Amino acid sequence: MSQDDQIMSISAAELKQYIERAENLEEEKATILEHIKEVFAEAKARGFDVKVMKQLMKIRKMKKEDLVLQEELLELYRRALNEG
């Protein structure tokens, strides 16, 4: 089947559905990102350090073994630089 034949076999209605679904999800994503931004602004206003909060969120997502490895490497690098 040539590329032209493949293009001709695409269902316009199906393509439109996929595009509209993706567009809707992009809109939802923007809304969610705005809500997250508001949460951090609220936390900052209450005196919390947003950078530290984001770092903690990243750590909480990590697998235990990955976190342990990261902490070990960080300590090794600090000692190598005489900062630990």
41 and 59 share a domain?
Answer: no
* Count of residues making up the chain: 84
What is the extent of the structural domain holding 16? 1-48
29 and 69 share a domain?
Answer: no
- Non-local CB neighbours of 75 within 8 Å, separated by 6+ positions: 84
Q: What is the pLDDT of residue 13?
A: 87
Query: Measured between alpha carbons, how far is 27 from 72 in angstroms, rounded to an integer?
Result: 41
Contact in structure between 53 and 40 (CB atoms under 8 Å): yes
- Two tokens, residue 82: 């005489």
80 and 43 share a domain?
Answer: no
What are the tens digits of pLDDT across the range 9-68? 778 889 999 999 999 999 999 999 999 999 999 999 999 999 999 999 999 999 999 999
Provide the domain count of the chain: 2
What is the reported pTM?
Answer: 0.70
57 and 80 share a domain?
Answer: yes
